[in-house]
Amino acid sequence: MRPSGRNLSQMRPISIETGVMRHAEGSCLIKCGDTHVLCTATIEDNPPRFLKGSGLGWVTAEYGMLPRATNTRNRREAAQGKQSGRTQEIQRLIGRSLRAGIDRSALGERQISIDCDVIQADGGTRCASITGGWVALRLAVNKLLKAGVLNSDPIVDHVAAVSCGIYGGQPLLDLDYAEDSEAGTDGNFVLTRAGRLIEVQMSAEGATFSRDEMSQLLDLAEAGMADLVAAQKAAVA
């Protein structure tokens, strides 16, 4: 039995509320169980300097966690004068993942910045950020299409992410904090709606894992994608 009482292959409840930020071109509040992340998209007409004249667009991301998103207060990274290595790694993952789902030529020479702010954390914050970040990106691109700024849709597929792991010797889908903190193996899977892999992060946290166990976790992630994509579709409909 999981600490949450869920079945081994059961996702946490997912909800995505859009239009939660007045000024952002795209925004949503995604809730995956008790993990809540505010995602916004900002359109900038100028691409990064290294893309000037290339005809290609760019999607980047920033990630942060509010001081009381967890059970104890964490100091704001701005107050410490630098971002932690964990924060930098997560925001790079979000950016890479979302760029994999767009045609940068169709986007044109502009940048869309995705900001992901964790309001409450209970495991899987990077996965929720990717899933919600895609919704914010989709809404921002919709505005460009409606305004006639873009000739074709640069978004080629849904992008979402989910965590899976081995807890108590059992492969589990969508780990919450109680499971993640005790898991022998922990993995994050980023996929497209078509089932194409964008990134897989797996590590032995307390016990090594076999190739067969890795395949079981991937099977769970693919099953979980159906729920995530359904939530994304409902949010942007």
Binding-site annotation, residues for phosphate: 86, 124-126
Nearest CA-CA partner of 11 in 181, 151, 221: 221
Containing 128, the helix (H) or strand (E) segment is: helix 125-146
- State the greatest distance between any 2 C-alpha atoms of the chain, in Å, as a whole number: 56
Tell me, what DSSP letter sits at residue 22? S
Cross-strand pairs, 186: 165, 203
Cβ-proximal residues to 195 (8 Å cutoff; 6+ apart), any chain: 222, 225
Containing 197, the helix (H) or strand (E) segment is: strand 197-204
Work out the angle at residue 211's Cα, subtended by the Cα atoms of residues 205 and 217, and round it to the nearest 5 degrees.
65
Q: At 61, is the secondary structure helix, strand, or coil?
A: strand
Q: Which residues are annotated as part of the binding site?
A: 86, 124-126
Cα-Cα end-to-end distance for the chain: 36
CA dihedral 161, 167, 171, 175 (to 10 degrees): -20
